[in-house]
Amino acid sequence: MKVLAIRVAIVVALLGAWEIVGRTANPLLYVPPSAAVPALGRLLARDSYPDLAEHLLLTLREILVAYALAIVAGLGCGFALGFNRLVGRAYGPILAALYAVPAVVWYPSLMLFFGLDAASKIAFGFLLGFFPITLAVLAGIRQVSPQMLVVARAFGADGLTAFRKVTLPAMLFTLVGGLRTGLALTVIGVIVGEILGSKSGMGSLINHAYGLFRTADYIALVVVTLVLIVGSDALASAVEHRAQRWTD
Amino acid sequence: MSELIVVEGVSKRYVTSSGPVDALRDISLSVGGGEFCTLIGPSGCGKSTLLGMLGGLVTADAGRVVVDSRPVERPDPRRVATVFQDPGLFPWRTTLENVEFGLELQGVPAARRRQVATDLLGPLGLRDFAAKYPRELSGGMRQRVAIGRALAIDTPIVLMDEPFGALDEQTRVLMGEWLLDIWRRMRKTVVFVTHSLHEALALSTRVVVMTARPGRIKSVLELPMPYPRAMESSELVALRAKLWSDIRDESLRAMGEPHP
């Protein structure tokens, strides 16, 4: 209850400060909340951007495809490297080094390879989501205590059974954490990709409004995008909590 | 007495980064049904390796290991159950679910295995802890869960590799008394590895003393006295002295050796 009160106070204070700054500054660049709220209304009423739904759906579709690819490739790569000691030792450090490179440096080449449409956004979202998932699988496999695997073997488990009954549950929490980070980064990748160069999707609308100094519309679009991001993370967080309750 | 476990001329050599290590050399031993046979000896004498061979987790370089008239090639959870020093409980499973683990692997239906595990909780002293997770249990309780997991699959043979090694002295003595009670009621054949003279003398029908590396059998002590044993009786005090002198020699030898 107290936490909630403090949270509300912070939001109110921030909005208040924003309102004051927005009213006194250049109205072309700074828009107070009192002007942003009507803009959000116009956006949702399909007044300012009548094709909002199509753009939103396209962004969602790009995120879903990129995330699905990141999961498949991340799990595949992670398990291949994690269960094969030689390959893991050869490629593990390279992977970690690549993860440290700011991913945005790859984006121009992705646009060259995949064009300006959805494919390059999917590729960028995939690239960002792939690494944390792979690294989480690797970390998860390292976490499984060898003693638990010895116990499973002593009680008659073959390789597959030991994987199902021991390895997977033992690494589940780390794995789900990686999947959550992967989703957040995939979403970021797709939207950043759209902002950097695209004719459709939420990022392109943001870019459009911002480029035309339609600052109130721009803020309204950002709010809608934020809801999308926060919503997907809330979903992932709920899954993570379930996994946490189930595991240690 | 029918020989349930027969070990003949078994040797094992490990290859380590600092060269080969002879863990066991030419061990022969047999254990009859219903025995409580204890292996005792200095650290690194290959006791755990020998136990691993009986359980099918370690293969011998030479010689043969026969359990229940079949050569051991791999773990056989219908004949042999193992309890390890590190209990290796599954942290995402409750006490009951941990005890059920072996039955689950054998494909026993859920209702049946739940019944077996629940019936075991009483003798394990864990009735009030069925729904607890390992992190909520004390060290002694965790080890009882591991013993319950081994008893649940109801094998004629139970191997125990220093099951109480990580417990404090008081808990250890009480756990020994508890185990003795369980063993006498369930009529299992137990092969038990320990460092504790007290445990060996209080629990065993036979004590096998092993030499420092390479592990060989130094002496065998038969203990026909009834249970519970009066540890202060002149007979046991004399046996303790004999056992200690055998183990002392080997432990000194083991200490003189550089560690691999």
Domain extent, residue A236, equals: 39-246
Same domain? A122 vs A20:
no
DSSP output for B86-120: S----TTS-HHHHHHHHHHHTT--HHHHHHHHHHH
Secondary structure letter of residue B66 according to DSSP: E
Same domain? A146 vs A26:
no
Q: What's the sign of the alpha-carbon dihedral B46, B50, B52, B58?
A: positive
Q: Find the angle CA(B113)-CA(B117)-CA(B118) to the nearest 5 degrees.
A: 115
pLDDT at A248: 46
B84 vs A170: CB contact, 8 Å cut-off?
no
**How far is B9 from chain A, CA to nearest CA, in Å?**
24
Question: What interface predicted TM-score (ipTM) does this complex get?
Answer: 0.90
Same domain? A141 vs A190:
yes
Most A CBs within 10 Å: which of B53, B59, B101, as the mutation test of the A interface? B101
Distance of alpha carbon A225 from alpha carbon A218, whole angstroms: 11
B147-166 average pLDDT score: 94
Kindly state whether A155 is in contact with chain B, defined as any CB-CB distance less than 8 angstroms.
Answer: yes
Looking at the partner chain, which of A147, A150, A155 has a beta carbon nearest the beta carbon of B101? A155
B88 vs A247: CB contact, 8 Å cut-off?
no
Smallest Cα–Cα separation from B11: which of B41, B46, B40, B44? B46
**Contact at 8 Å (CB) between A156 and B75?**
yes
Query: First and final CA of chain A: distance in angstroms?
Result: 29
B90 vs A153: CB contact, 8 Å cut-off?
no
Delineate the domains of chain B, giving CATH numbers in brackets: 1-75+191-260 (3.40.50.300)
Kindly state whether A42 is in contact with chain B, defined as any CB-CB distance less than 8 angstroms.
Answer: no
Same domain? A186 vs A237:
yes
B105 vs A157: CB contact, 8 Å cut-off?
yes
pLDDT at A243: 76
**pLDDT (tens digit, 9 = 90+) per residue, B4-48?**
999 999 999 998 888 888 899 999 999 999 999 999 988 878 899
B183-201 average pLDDT score: 93
B75 vs A161: CB contact, 8 Å cut-off?
no
Same domain? A122 vs A25:
no
**pLDDT (tens digit, 9 = 90+) per residue, B90-144?**
999 999 999 999 999 999 999 999 999 999 998 888 999 999 999 999 999 999 9
Each residue's pLDDT, cut to its tens digit, for chain A (248 residues) gives 788 999 999 999 999 998 888 888 887 778 888 888 898 999 888 888 899 999 999 999 999 999 999 999 999 999 999 888 888 888 888 888 888 888 888 888 888 899 888 899 999 999 999 999 999 999 999 889 999 999 999 999 999 999 999 999 999 989 999 999 999 999 999 999 999 888 889 999 999 998 888 888 999 999 999 998 898 889 888 888 887 766 54
Same domain? A190 vs A225:
yes
Smallest Cα–Cα separation from B81: which of B137, B134, B120, B111? B120
Same domain? A159 vs A227:
yes
Looking at the partner chain, which of B55, B91, B135 has a beta carbon nearest the beta carbon of A154? B55
Same domain? A21 vs A65:
no
A165 vs B92: CB contact, 8 Å cut-off?
no
Kindly state whether A146 is in contact with chain B, defined as any CB-CB distance less than 8 angstroms.
Answer: no
Looking at the partner chain, which of B92, B102, B133 has a beta carbon nearest the beta carbon of A155? B102
Same domain? A23 vs A141:
no
Number of domains in chain A: 2
Distance of alpha carbon B134 from alpha carbon A243, whole angstroms: 17
Kindly state whether A246 is in contact with chain B, defined as any CB-CB distance less than 8 angstroms.
Answer: yes
Longest CA span, chain B: 55
Nearest residue on chain A to B84, alpha-carbon basis? A151
pLDDT at A246: 63
Same domain? A188 vs A160:
yes
- Looking at per-residue pLDDT, the higher value among A94 and B149 belongs to B149
Domain CATH code at residue A159:
1.10.3720.10
B92 vs A248: CB contact, 8 Å cut-off?
yes
**How far is B242 from chain A, CA to nearest CA, in Å?**
35
**How far is B106 from chain A, CA to nearest CA, in Å?**
8
Nearest residue on chain A to B54, alpha-carbon basis? A154
**How far is B90 from chain A, CA to nearest CA, in Å?**
7
**Contact at 8 Å (CB) between B150 and B89?**
no
Same domain? A44 vs A102:
yes
A151 vs B84: CB contact, 8 Å cut-off?
yes
DSSP output for B22-55: EEEEEEEEEEETT-EEEEE-STTSSHHHHHHHHT
pLDDT at B107: 93
B77 vs A156: CB contact, 8 Å cut-off?
yes
Same domain? A136 vs A234:
yes
